[in-house]
């Protein structure tokens, strides 16, 4: 969770960093290019003139900064869908931490994951094949759904990998204890 939190923090601070120090901001943009296509037409921008966040100029460009009527627009280093996948996955992880699923090693039935990804697939897929252009609001919504669902599958997988199986250890200890008792007789 700490890594995902830091990852999200870097995403959120990249536009203000780019506004303050272009070269430092570009290092972050370049790093995030490994995780996203970064097209402006599918991204949100930070507008320092009025400290607002809104759609970027509708350009098929990967530039980090655009001159607009409102002044410079500093693009987030990931698109709207990726931004909300990451934010929602982090938020979902926080929610899970305070629920009974915190230490769970069992993932929900995979069919539920497939079902929640249908809106994501329809939105992204229909855009990809050229049927229509999605909106950032729809990208954000499908990203939120996918990000939260991801948490409910990924955290149990991490738990299964990293948490000790205390029942298994207790059974093994009991077997060892029995062997010792037999040996002592």
Phi-psi region of 38 (alpha: psi -120 to 50; beta: other; left: phi over 0): left
pTM for the model stands at: 0.83
Average pLDDT, stretch 62-78? 94
pLDDT in tens, 133-150: 999 999 999 999 999 999
pLDDT in tens, 156-182: 998 888 887 655 655 666 677 677 777
Whether residue 86 sits in one domain with residue 152: yes
pLDDT in tens, 46-60: 999 999 999 999 999
Whether residue 68 sits in one domain with residue 17: yes
Domain around 104 = 80-168
How does residue 126 score in pLDDT terms, banded at 50, 70 and 90? Answer: very high
Beta strands in 30-151 (DSSP E): 44-47, 52-55, 65-68, 71-75
Backbone φ and ψ for 91, nearest 5 degrees, come out as -60, -40
- Residue 83: which of 19, 147, 170 has the closest Cα? 147
Number of structural domains the chain divides into: 2
pLDDT in tens, 8-59: 999 999 999 999 999 999 999 999 999 999 999 999 999 999 999 999 999 9
Residue 67 maps to a domain:
yes
- As a whole number of angstroms, the distance between CA 60 and CA 56 comes to 10
Which CA distances in Å does 61 have to 64, 94, 98, 179?
9, 34, 41, 70
- pLDDT for position 162: 87
């Amino acid at each position: 969770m700490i890594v995902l939190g830091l990852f999200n923090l870097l995403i959120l601070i990249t536009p203000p960093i780019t506004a303050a120090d272009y070269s430092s901001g570009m290092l972050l943009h370049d790093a995030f290019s490994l995780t996203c296509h970064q097209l402006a037409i599918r991204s949100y921008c930070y507008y320092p003139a009025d400290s607002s966040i809104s759609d970027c100029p509708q350009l098929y460009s990967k530039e980090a900064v655009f001159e607009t009527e409102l002044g410079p627009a500093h693009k987030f280093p990931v698109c709207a869908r990726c931004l909300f996948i990451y934010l929602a996955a982090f938020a979902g992880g926080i929610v899970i931490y305070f629920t009974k699923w915190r230490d769970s090693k069992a993932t929900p039935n995979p069919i539920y994951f497939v079902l929640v990804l249908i809106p994501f697939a329809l939105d992204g897929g229909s855009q990809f094949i050229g049927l229509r252009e999605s909106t950032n609001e729809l990208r954000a919504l499908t990203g939120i759904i996918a990000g939260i669902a991801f948490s409910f599958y990924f955290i149990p997988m991490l738990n299964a990998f990293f948490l000790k199986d205390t029942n298994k250890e207790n059974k093994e200890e009991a077997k060892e204890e029995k062997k010792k008792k037999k040996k002592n007789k």
